[in-house]
Amino acid sequence: MDARNVHEISVAPVLTPPLDEAFVPASVFNREYRKIAAEAGPLPLKLALERADGSISAFTTPVIPPEAGHLEATKFYVERIVKFLLWQRGGWKVYVGGPAVVGEHIKAVYSPAGARKFDYDFMGGVYEHPFEVVVTTPEAAPDTKETSMPLGRHLDGCRVGFDLGASDRKASAVKDGEVVYSEEKPWDPRNATDPSYHYEGVMDSIRSAAAHLPRLDAVGGSAAGVYINNRVRVGSLYRGVPKKEFDEKIAPMFLRIRDELGVPLEVVNDGEVTALAGSMSLGENPVLGVAMGSSQAAGYVNDQGNITGWLNELAFVPVDYRLDAPADEWSGDIGCGVQYFSQVGAIRVAEGAGMKFDEGLKLPEKLVALQDKMRAGDELAAKVYETLGVYLGYALAHYADFYDLKHVLILGRVTTGPGGEIIRDKSMEVLRREFPEIAEKALVNLPDESNRRVGQAIAAASLPAIEKKQDEGE
């Protein structure tokens, strides 16, 4: 690919997505920016994000001194990293310890009137605290203070595991770690304005699966969105519900379901369940799970097999730094993961390359048509998946700045069929050819079709612990 300039930083990746020559990988831009910073005599910049429980994530990076030039590139570089950290780790307060001109830029951008108003409002809502940017020095910015906790892995008893997606909801009956029944039902939650649609849909899936068990001991679920102590904080699945009804009916919905069923219930972000499923099947850690479905979901299990208090909402994380990158319809930001690692991204690439679909087809149906073309040996379909694979390889190199990568598990509807193997292989080719130091320690895993579904169901069902009765065994 010919070099592209973004804020006077020259970006020339070794591999070019065959159907998207304008792609500017964040990982390559950042590498080139840091080279210039090193030559200029870098200044340290320390970012620290504080969450509601007092935990803090700190991240340090070199920046070019403002007096050495490249100020617009520095502002861009830092703003994109702040964006990554917010959606990876979460926080209601961001400390920017570095050049004041950079800190003031971040404060203006992440404000009620700034370009990142969506992020300002979203993070304030998640953590129930007004969002704030503090401009300070590297020395005064707080240090990391993280917590982690075990997740799931409970396989005893009769359990139901469910997964709520944007186009279908899945449920499985699991008895002592074995799936005895699974089902999948279509639904359209994002266009539902009545909270009862969500409640009744979830209850229908749970009861349908539970009918195949001798009793119900526990329920575990995964769903897109942010869940704190089984309360829904925010999520694209519920975007059609008015705020008043959301606060009254959706936020406590899973607590209500737990109480009505009378059994332990845990619901977490679907990406966390993806990572947990990978950890359970591989028997190794750490694991980054990336699910490419209606959107992009992600989760992370650390080297101890635990989850952190992070958000891991990589759908909102920028991976493409071109200044006219495709925009996310919800947040309005450009170059974010949802447009590259989801059915939205797959169909965007396919249609952009001239692939035709029957009129009236919705995105899930177009994805099925794309997969059928792939199975039939369609060359353009293969190039769509090659493009997604190149995207993923460069994105993983970007993720490696923020995660300890060892096993990356990719799954979701976009990876179904032979196209998934192309995505995996192309992503590893990118890492081997341009980031060999990452390829030496990180492996992209693609579970087989049955393990994808069964493993996810077992992992979701394993979330809650079953309280043992005091007289048990007497």
* Per-residue pLDDT tens digits for 13-53: 999 999 999 999 999 999 999 999 999 999 999 999 999 88
Tokens 């992440």, located at residue: 110
* Per-residue pLDDT tens digits for 118-139: 999 999 988 989 999 999 999 9
Q: Would you state the pLDDT for residue 452?
A: 62
Higher pLDDT, 436 or 269: 436
Q: Would you state the pLDDT for residue 453?
A: 60
* Per-residue pLDDT tens digits for 388-416: 999 999 999 999 999 999 999 998 889 99
Q: Would you state the pLDDT for residue 41?
A: 97
Q: Where in the chain are all domains bearing CATH 3.30.420.40?
A: 151-272, 273-458
Contact present, 224 and 235 (Cβ < 8 Å): yes
* Per-residue pLDDT tens digits for 231-247: 998 888 998 999 999 99
The number of C-alpha atoms within 13 Å of 191 and in the hemisphere containing its C-beta is 3
Higher pLDDT, 319 or 243: 319
Q: How far is CA 250 from CA 84, 127, 273, in A?
A: 27, 17, 21
Architecture per CATH, 151-272: 2-Layer Sandwich (3.30)
Picking from 141, 32, 122, the residue whose alpha carbon sits closest to that of residue 77 is 32
Q: Would you state the pLDDT for residue 471?
A: 45
Quick check: 470 pLDDT over 80?
no
Quick check: 447 pLDDT over 70?
yes
* Per-residue pLDDT tens digits for 131-164: 999 999 999 999 999 988 888 999 999 999 999 9
- Average pLDDT for 283-296: 91
- Average pLDDT for 329-340: 95
Percent of the chain with pLDDT over 90: 80
* Per-residue pLDDT tens digits for 153-196: 999 999 999 999 888 899 999 999 999 999 999 999 989 999 99
Q: Per-residue confidence at 474, pLDDT binned at 50, 70, 90?
A: very low
Q: Per-residue confidence at 353, pLDDT binned at 50, 70, 90?
A: very high
Average pLDDT in the chain: 93
Tokens of 54: 């007092």
Quick check: 1 pLDDT over 80?
no
CATH superfamily assigned to domain 273-458: ATPase, nucleotide binding domain (3.30.420.40)
- Average pLDDT for 60-66: 98
Task: Report the predicted TM-score, pTM, of the whole model to 2 decimal places.
Answer: 0.90
The number of C-alpha atoms within 13 Å of 272 and in the hemisphere containing its C-beta is 32
- Average pLDDT for 295-299: 90
